[in-house]
A and B are shown apart, each in its own frame.
Chain A
Amino acid sequence: MAVDPIEQFQIHNLFPVATVGHTEIFFTNSAAFMLAAVAGITAFLLIGTTKRSLVPTRLQSAAELAYEFVATTLRGTAGSEGMKFFPFIFTLFMFILTVNMIGLIPYTFTVTSHIIITAALAITVFLTVVVYGLVRHGLHFFNLFVPKGVPIYILPLIVFIEVLSFISRPISHSVRLFANMLAGHITLQVFAGFIILMGTGLGAIGWAASVLPFALVVILFALETLVAFLQAYVFAILTCIYLNDAIHPGH
């Protein structure tokens, strides 16, 4: 029996929550895993930081490490002024990281493998950048689209391309995370399916030969763990870079 590699991304309705117009809104397995991730992060940080001992325990150490990691990234990309966005970046990073890591556990659901989730996150970032930039700098924010030292006769063209490049940000931001998670999980499932296929199809020789796909699954799993962390990091650092544009436009 072949394993369907897409089945893991199925959304199931668990129970109805509310009715808006004629559409019933359901609590889905995706929502359940998001809630689990938020609960996990909250528990981790609360338990880790309640004691606040001078010599940290392992959990406190991990919590401090997470804080330091995000704070260094943010300060390095957006300067010390960017630290007012620290709660936002930290939430994004921890949420994506936890959700990705939970998705690696067999039989769980990967929330970030659906583009609606990553697009919602990316649009939130995009709107934050635009709104904060406009509130903070007013119309000077649009200096972002006017590079210095460009001859006046090609300026309209350049500004136009800059605007398009700016609009394309949330798309590349969301597609990157979603595509990485989707592709990785499909690959894992396909190779894991080979083990079953070879074993049931070819008998004893098949089981012996299935060591090869099994080894590949182990290697791929390690790679996926790296990707899960890296994509959370890339999402966070790009958010920092975009916020840097809102904080210091036109330099």
Chain B
Amino acid sequence: MADGTHGPGDRKDPPDDEAQLSARLQRLGERLGNASRASENATSPRQTADMSAFARGFRLSTELVAGVVVGALIGWLLDRWLGISPWGLIVFLLFGFAAGILNVMRAAGVVRDRQL
């Protein structure tokens, strides 16, 4: 099968061509290895991804809502189990709101992750 390389008709000796090609491939491999090692050495992971403004906006709103929903859910369940209605809901809704705000600030990159 054709392996994708164009066989040049004007070259006399195919073995030499092959050797040249493999040498070039090796050099390319070294360069690629260097490049990927360089990118791996960048240890600080990039947290902000480039995406469209629409996706970003949608992401931020869902982060906030998710925090509030989790807080409300935990509060409601605690109320049912412990019979302390409505205090569980009130307190956990507030905490959930705080968690949602934290999510949003993290997602927006206002707060660097893990250092508040």
Contacts and interface: CB of A to CB of B under 8 A. Distances in A.
Q: Do A and B come from one complex?
A: yes
Interface of A: 51, 53-56, 73, 75-80, 144, 147-150, 158, 160-162, 164-165, 167-169, 171-172, 175-176, 179-180, 226-227, 230-231, 233-234, 237, 241, 244, 248, 250-251
Contacts, number: 108
Interface of B: 1-5, 39-40, 43, 45-47, 49, 51-52, 54-55, 58-59, 62-63, 65-67, 69-71, 74, 95-96, 98-100, 102-103, 106, 114-116
B51 to A, nearest CB: 6
A180 B62 CA distance: 11
A70 B80 CA distance: 44
Contacts of A248: 45
Contact of B59 (A148, A167, A226, A234): A234
Contacts of A244: 45
B66 A168 contact: yes
B52 A230 contact: yes
Contacts of B63: 168, 172
Given A73-B49, A79-B40, A227-B54, 20 more contacts: A53-B3, A54-B5, A75-B40, A77-B49, A147-B114, A150-B116, A164-B74, A167-B70, A167-B74, A168-B99, A168-B100, A168-B103, A172-B67, A172-B103, A175-B62, A175-B66, A233-B51, A234-B49, A237-B49, A237-B51
Contact of A78 (B2, B45, B66, B98): B45
Nearest to B21: A54
